[in-house]
Chain A
Amino acid sequence: MKSIKYAWFAIVLLTFGQSCKKDSEYLNKQPTNTLSVEATWKDPNLVLSVIGDLYDRYPDFQTIESWWEFTDFDEAFASNGGDYGRHQNAEFDYGSWNWWDYGYIRDLNVFLKRGQEATALSEADKNRFIAEARFIRAGVYFELVKRMGGVPLITEPMEYNYSGDPTYLQHARAKESEIYDFVISELEAVKNMLPNSASTQSRATKGAALAMESRAALYAASIAKYGVSTGQVSLPGGEVGIPASMATAYYQKSLQAAKEIISDGQYSLYKKNPNLSDNFSSLFTDKSNNPEVIFAKDFKLKTNKVHGYTINNQPRSSAEEQQGGRLNPSLNLVQSFEKLDNTYASLASVDASGNPVYYTGITDIFAGRDARLAGTVILPGTQFKNKTVDIWAGYMLANGTIITGDNFGQTKKDVLPGKPGTVQVVGADGPIDGLEFSAQSGFYVRKYLDPATGSGQIGTRSEVWWIRYRYAEVLLNAAEASFALGDAQGAADYLKPVRDRAGLTTPLTAGDMSLDRLVHERRVELAFEGHELWDMKRWRLADKAWNGNAMSVADFTNAANIGVAARTNTQVFGLWPYKYYNPGDANDGKYVFKVVKPSKVTAAHRFRLGNYYSLINQDIINRNPKIVKNPNQ
């Protein structure tokens, strides 16, 4: 009984004791699970986590976090059951690649406003945070303008006054050139507020601002220059389309920004490994003192910031999980890597008169090519993680009969004439038509594939970063701008270090320079880095290369127009190695190659004029009737 009495006493004390607090104190408690704005803006570490979130929301199209987007434009085949449709739809949807995130822009504007009002931070911290947010905002507008054309330019957080009339919040689209001007002027304004340090690679730096400026100005310049050829892709208000007269000024800005990075001398091309191909592939995976990387999205093991690019795309035979091999670079891309004498040629599967060519080694057919080929693509007979990939499609008999299997590394009994017993009839990595994870084009991707042990395991994943800006692109920007401004020799000089690193040591001369050359150089240097769509759009080549016309084997054997920028590129083709079986013949045991079209490739891609600028969804126009539609949709 006594204990109950004490318990009652305690309860009463606790209850009434509480009520002794003042009402105002009781009702005005600070929440313990969120931080107030005032508290955040006192501590640079807390502000850093806010800006970290803003960095994290930066959009990318085609990244290592979404391998399938690399297969949309016939640079690669999607060897994955759910993604064959990418090769079976002729038209791109008008809504493809559209993006309209004004919530993000508002958050950036709010961040900037609070940053300017903050008093407790040191001046240096404050300036850097503000410059970073302006850098991100410029990047966001750049991402918007390259997808949608001119968009409403909002630089202040807007507040609704609950008057029932929101029309004052509705802003019309700015001109396409005005958005590019805004991006360029913002980056120009913040470049000196940011640290000028090559070792800061996942936050904004002076180099990152200049690299973005160089790219943005180049995009604007080429839209102005080449937009003439697609006159229909414009709007009378200038929301889409830039007048040709503005091209020169933009090219100059692009060149100037690139020159400033070059003369600052903070960055250089990655040349740690004397083996040029290995060097090129480790450029993307080496995160310690990488002198080429200007701005990257970083990842870290044992956090939730890891990605599964290597799990998805590792060679199937040496995979650390029962999957991989999804991204298969196409023969279209592979054959565009030039020969060491700077000429273009199809891979010699047949000779000039159409007879098959026999190769002693499986890699011989790829010999004497741009070193970037083996750095970008895992070729048959080459290694990944010190294991040789097993890519060969079967035996070819003297009469042309093919003996092959339908599962990875399948063995069959008594199938080869005159040779009883069990033999393996197909490579452990395929290619097997229609079998997911096998190298259905005859190739696997190497770029960005993580050589670290465990990178192919679901439990570990990969911390290879996604490089958004690197020094080689800056040089290519400078070359393109120089060429457009009439300085062909200057363009050749900017290309030289990039090509030297690829083993193409015969320098190009001023007379070799052409748009075709520059388009080609960007295509092979920057493959699988998320450039192809935007580049083809700004050169106005997209509707010419992705023209809806079917391709044939003739486009891949002794083709004469490989270096032509507007060459048709609508369907993925592959190159399959076979072992020639003909005992007694001089060619027995050698390899022959066949150009094939994977059977899952059924449609030819067609880029319509209405695809140049993505569809603005009708609900956006309903909310803001001042928005005009994009052309040709």
Chain B
Amino acid sequence: MRPRFYFLTVALLVLFLGSCKKDNYDAPAADFNGRIVYKGEAINVQYGNVYFELWQPGFGKSGAINVNIDQEGHYSAKLFDGNYKLVFSANQGPFLWPKNAKGAQDTVAVNMSGSKTMDIEVMPYYMVRNSVFTAASGKVNASCKLEKIITDVNAKDIERAVLYINKTQFVDGSNNLANQELTGAALGDLNNLSFSVTVPTIVPTQNYVFARIGVKISGVEDMIFSPLQKVQF
């Protein structure tokens, strides 16, 4: 009986140690993060709606890694080390992305070896400047200035500017409690836009809301926003 018992032990040991071998490659470990910016200032957008693509050539079949931009313009992705190409597909985001000589979207080479932080410089059509939010008797008042960044042939007009408020920090066209829209003549003086929106009853009650001003540029799907602010009242 004894020798057989030892034999069994050894056999099991071999078997289990054998399975300790890694049968797969490591999970991606390098962090790639940063913001989309214009002259160092983050571009605020609606979350889940603007993304760029990362392509890694050299592995046969290709497929893009889509990296989403969050509402404050940040992104982050876990990647393997290697060489990637970064590109925004046409008409993504409230900004222009450079084109190459052939007229296609240009790519930016990204070399990953270990983690990397990179701000991506883009050219927005407009920027929302000096946004101020104040609370006043059941209302949120706001003002801002819109600066036209692109003034050449690619310049576009503003379709509407909207003040959104929400009870959570996600504030945009799809997530809001109330909004006030300025269109047409109300957009006459872009240096001085003012908004006012009544705060509806919030259940359960809270004594603050989050507010942002969004700008819809005509012919551009994604809106550009002011930085988010919590308004206490």
- Is B174 touching A632 in the complex (CB atoms < 8 A)? no
The CA of A631 and the CA of B89, in the complex, are separated in Å by: 8
Contacting residues, chain A, for B147 (C-beta < 8 A): none
- Is B221 touching A609 in the complex (CB atoms < 8 A)? yes
- Is A632 touching B61 in the complex (CB atoms < 8 A)? no
Binding site for B on A (CB under 8 A): 90-91, 231-232, 236, 543, 548-549, 603-604, 606, 608-610, 618-619, 622, 629, 631-633
Contacts A/B (CB < 8 Å), 11 sampled: A232-B219, A548-B173, A548-B174, A549-B173, A603-B174, A606-B173, A608-B221, A609-B221, A618-B62, A629-B89, A633-B89
- Is B174 touching A622 in the complex (CB atoms < 8 A)? no
Q: A548-B174, A632-B221 are in contact. Are A622 and B62 (CB under 8 A)?
A: yes
In the complex, whether B10 has a CB less than 8 A from a CB of chain A is no
Q: Which residue of B lies closest to A236 (CB)?
A: B103
In the complex, whether B90 has a CB less than 8 A from a CB of chain A is yes
Within the complex, what minimum Cβ distance (angstroms) separates A318 from chain B?
39
Q: A548-B174, A632-B90 are in contact. Are A232 and B221 (CB under 8 A)?
A: yes
- Is A609 touching B174 in the complex (CB atoms < 8 A)? no
The CA of A622 and the CA of B62, in the complex, are separated in Å by: 7
- Number of residues on chain B facing chain A (CB within 8 A): 16
Contacting residues, chain A, for B49 (C-beta < 8 A): 608
The CA of A316 and the CA of B103, in the complex, are separated in Å by: 59
The B81-112 residues at the A interface (CB cut-off 8 A) are 89-92, 103
The B32-52 residues at the A interface (CB cut-off 8 A) are 48-49
The CA of A631 and the CA of B104, in the complex, are separated in Å by: 12
- Is B61 touching A606 in the complex (CB atoms < 8 A)? no
Contacting residues, chain A, for B64 (C-beta < 8 A): 618
Q: Which residue of B lies closest to A232 (CB)?
A: B91
| Extra contacts besides A609-B91, A609-B221 (6): CB < 8 Å | A232-B91, A236-B103, A549-B173, A618-B62, A618-B63, A629-B89
Contacting residues, chain B, for A231 (C-beta < 8 A): 219
Contacting residues, chain A, for B89 (C-beta < 8 A): 629, 632-633
Number of A-B contacts (CB under 8 A): 37
The CA of A377 and the CA of B174, in the complex, are separated in Å by: 31
**A622 CB contact (under 8 Å) in B48, B61, B91, B220:** B61
The CA of A633 and the CA of B219, in the complex, are separated in Å by: 15
The CA of A629 and the CA of B174, in the complex, are separated in Å by: 27
Q: Which residue of A lies closest to B60 (CB)?
A: A622
Contacting residues, chain A, for B92 (C-beta < 8 A): 632
Contacting residues, chain B, for A549 (C-beta < 8 A): 173
The CA of A62 and the CA of B54, in the complex, are separated in Å by: 35
Within the complex, what minimum Cβ distance (angstroms) separates A600 from chain B?
18
The CA of A129 and the CA of B162, in the complex, are separated in Å by: 59
Within the complex, what minimum Cβ distance (angstroms) separates B44 from chain A?
18
Contacting residues, chain A, for B173 (C-beta < 8 A): 548-549, 606
The CA of A232 and the CA of B49, in the complex, are separated in Å by: 16
Q: Which residue of A lies closest to B221 (CB)?
A: A609
Within the complex, what minimum Cβ distance (angstroms) separates B47 from chain A?
11
**B91 CB contact (under 8 Å) in A606, A618, A632:** A632
Within the complex, what minimum Cβ distance (angstroms) separates B46 from chain A?
9
In the complex, per-residue mask of B55-86: 1 if CB is within 8 Å of any chain A CB, else 0 = 00000011110000000000000000000000
- Is A606 touching B221 in the complex (CB atoms < 8 A)? no
Contacting residues, chain A, for B174 (C-beta < 8 A): 90, 548, 603-604, 606
The CA of A90 and the CA of B48, in the complex, are separated in Å by: 11
The CA of A604 and the CA of B179, in the complex, are separated in Å by: 15
Contacting residues, chain A, for B103 (C-beta < 8 A): 236
Within the complex, what minimum Cβ distance (angstroms) separates B164 from chain A?
11
Contacting residues, chain B, for A606 (C-beta < 8 A): 173-174
The CA of A629 and the CA of B91, in the complex, are separated in Å by: 13
The CA of A205 and the CA of B229, in the complex, are separated in Å by: 64
Q: A604-B174, A608-B221 are in contact. Are A631 and B91 (CB under 8 A)?
A: yes
Within the complex, what minimum Cβ distance (angstroms) separates A603 from chain B?
8
The CA of A603 and the CA of B48, in the complex, are separated in Å by: 15
Contacting residues, chain A, for B48 (C-beta < 8 A): 91
Contacting residues, chain B, for A603 (C-beta < 8 A): 174
Q: A604-B174, A622-B62 are in contact. Are A631 and B219 (CB under 8 A)?
A: no
The CA of A271 and the CA of B92, in the complex, are separated in Å by: 52
Contacting residues, chain A, for B91 (C-beta < 8 A): 232, 609, 631-632
In the complex, per-residue mask of B168-180: 1 if CB is within 8 Å of any chain A CB, else 0 = 0000011000000
